[in-house]
Amino acid sequence: MNDEQRPYTWTSADAAGLSVFAGLARYDEVASGAIHHALRFTLQNSETAFTPPASHWAGNSSNPYAAPMGMRVRLQASYDISSFPPQAQTILAALKTYGMIMADNGSSMFITGEPDNRWNNDDLGTLKSVPASAFEVVLIDPLYTPNNVPTGPAPVISSFTANPQTVSPGQPVTLSWNVSGASYLVVSPQAGAVRGASVIVTPTATTTYTLVGTNAYGRSTAKVKVTVQ
């Protein structure tokens, strides 16, 4: 719905709290000749810290040089990629422009791609020859640790109502709400992510609807039951 990130200290399928899919190298993009986004990568060690867009840490090292989750690195513009085969060259070109973001603990300097039988593994294998020293770290600011992670109030749900609240199967019901301080809202089941202050649903059985409001500091919920007779 917007550019808001997950709440501070929340994880996801990635330890960094990021979207896995958004950072994958995908064959269709490579086949088109260009990738227009940063890629996800992993490192063996990380510190107990994160930098946006990451929202979570999974520190496993006390080494002062360990990286924070969300750290972005970029392939140096001077690094010569002309001798690399086509698929690898397209990926390396993206790393010069958009870089890659540390998303989880794992094999060091490991980029993740979407599974596809059309990948040329020999072509991709040449990426292993690129040294870590060929990358530069993009400015890390801000850096959040357990000592300075931002805190604040979760969204306030003043009301969440259904009109009418008793209906026949398939009759439309308007769910309405009054919420302040939310970056995004979700109504479940049926509606999903929503905008504005109302949505129409058509329950076929008695259903309890849940409104979830989320911002950078947390989540608030409210429920309303619609009886189907």
Percentage of residues in the chain with pLDDT exceeding 90?
97
Report the C-alpha dihedral over residues 15, 119, 79, 23, rounded to 10 degrees: -30
Exposed/middle/buried for 57, CB within 10 Å: 0-12, 13-18, 19+?
Answer: buried
Same domain for 121 and 78: yes
Let me know if residue 8 belongs to a domain.
no
Same domain for 165 and 124: no
Give 1's pLDDT tier (boundaries 50, 70, 90). very low
- Mean pLDDT value of segment 13-24: 96
Q: What is the pTM of this model?
A: 0.86
Same domain for 128 and 189: no
Identify the H or E element spanning 136. strand 135-137
Asked if residue 25 has pLDDT above 80, the reply is: yes
**Cβ(177)–Cβ(161) below 8 Å:** yes
Q: 169: domain range?
A: 156-228
Same domain for 220 and 161: yes
How many CA atoms does the CB half-sphere of 45 hold within 13 Å?
A: 7
Same domain for 112 and 168: no
Q: Report the chain's mean pLDDT, rounded to a whole number.
A: 96
**What whole-number distance in Å separates Cα of residue 122 and Cα of residue 85?**
9
Q: In what side-by-side order are the strands of the sheet with 156-163?
A: 156-163, 173-180, 198-201
- Mean pLDDT value of segment 132-156: 97
CATH number at residue 218: 2.60.40.2470
pLDDT in tens, 75-91: 999 999 999 999 999 99
**Cβ(225)–Cβ(201) below 8 Å:** no
Distances 100 to 4, 92, 167, 196 between C-alpha atoms, Å:
20, 10, 52, 35
Same domain for 172 and 77: no
Could you give the number of structural domains in the chain? 2
